[in-house]
Amino acid sequence: MAAFAPLHAQTTVTEGTVNIGAGLVDGYSADRALFSQYNSLRSSSNGVGMLGIDYSLREEETDTWIKFQGSNLLGDTRELNLVVRNPGEWKFTENYSELVHYDLNTIRTGLIGAGSSSPQVNVVTAGTGSELELKTKRTSIGIGLSKWITPSMQFELDLKTEKKEGSRLFGIGMNCISTAAPGCGSNPLTSTNWAVLMLPEPINANHSQIDARLSYSFEKFRFNVGYYGSFYRNNYGTLTANVPSNLNNPLGVSQPLGTGLRDTQRVIQV
């Protein structure tokens, strides 16, 4: 459904539309895991609302144009874009976007603090544990500016920052040959010890970019000088799990975990 609201005046022209709708799917969320990776239908809800905006304004006296667009404002992948410009003089842009990705797999685990940098591993027996749904979210903000200094010289500046948070499927393996490292196994010099643990990787990082350019046009060629910078910061430096003294073997039998084997996974760089 769309609503149109055009308005014409002597010095101003305004046009706008609003789009409203609803989506509905049947079945269970697990059945549509692949389809619902990047929309709002990955959760237990079977329906989602949709809202979009498209608005433009033109001032004839000042020759100024304003355009605003918004899409999927009720969902997990919303976008907002604003452009204000005076053709041949300057242009300003601003944008905001979100993107959520759900992992295809729903995990049953006894892990406590999943997605943190210091989770607690617990042994899961039949009928215990809880379901864990992993997802990551990207939030991006950008600003741009373009200015004609002279008819032959133009300056452009673009700034963007994106934050990524959440957790994704990750694991670590521990392996030691007792004959090579006697203190690693539960039975020194007699058996090989190994273990594989599911430990979601915690994500909390920021990526920023800056791009500045100065362009000059001559009669037969164009000259450009600029700067490009990219800056990445990870707020999690290590993943340190608290592992119990006993783990189940492939047959589900609880066995002691060698102290040396536990220490091989204490700190993992992420």
Average pLDDT over residues 151-174: 90
> Is pLDDT above 80 for 42?
no
Query: In the prediction, which pLDDT does 262 show?
Result: 61
- Lowest mean pLDDT, pick from 31-40, 169-178, 183-192: 183-192
Q: What is the pLDDT of residues 81-101, one digit of tens each?
A: 999 999 889 999 999 999 999
Query: In the prediction, which pLDDT does 43 show?
Result: 67
> Which one-letter DSSP state was computed for residue 60?
T
What does pLDDT average to over the chain? Answer: 82
User: How far apart, in whole angstroms, are the C-alpha atoms of residue 169 and residue 33?
Assistant: 15
For the ranges 32-41, 45-54, 55-64, 190-199, the maximum mean pLDDT occurs at: 55-64
Q: What is the pLDDT of residues 204-228, one digit of tens each?
A: 999 999 999 999 988 788 889 999 9
- Lowest mean pLDDT, pick from 103-112, 170-179, 186-195: 186-195
Q: What is the pLDDT of residues 101-157, one digit of tens each?
A: 988 888 888 889 888 888 998 887 777 778 888 999 999 999 999 999 988 899 999
Q: How confident is the model at residue 180 (pLDDT cuts 50, 70, 90)?
A: low
Average pLDDT over residues 179-199: 61
Average pLDDT over residues 163-168: 94
One-character DSSP codes across 75-129: SSS-EEEEEEEETTTEEEEEEEEEEEEEEEEEEEE--BSTTSSS-B-----TT--
> Is pLDDT above 60 for 9?
no
Query: In the prediction, which pLDDT does 182 show?
Result: 53
User: How far apart, in whole angstroms, are the C-alpha atoms of residue 204 and residue 236?
Assistant: 7
3-state SS assignment for residue 182: coil
Query: In the prediction, which pLDDT does 259 show?
Result: 63
pLDDT over 70 percentage in the chain: 82
Owner of token pair 């697990």:
30
User: How far apart, in whole angstroms, are the C-alpha atoms of residue 116 and residue 201?
Assistant: 8
| CB environment 206-230: b (16+ within 10 A), e (fewer) | ebeeeeeeebeeeeeeeeeeeeeee
Query: In the prediction, which pLDDT does 82 show?
Result: 97
Between these two residues, 255 and 112, which has the higher pLDDT value?
Answer: 112
Output the six-digit token pair for 98: 């979100």
Q: What is the pLDDT of residues 61-78, one digit of tens each?
A: 888 999 999 999 988 889
Query: In the prediction, which pLDDT does 190 show?
Result: 53
Domain boundaries, the chain: 2-269
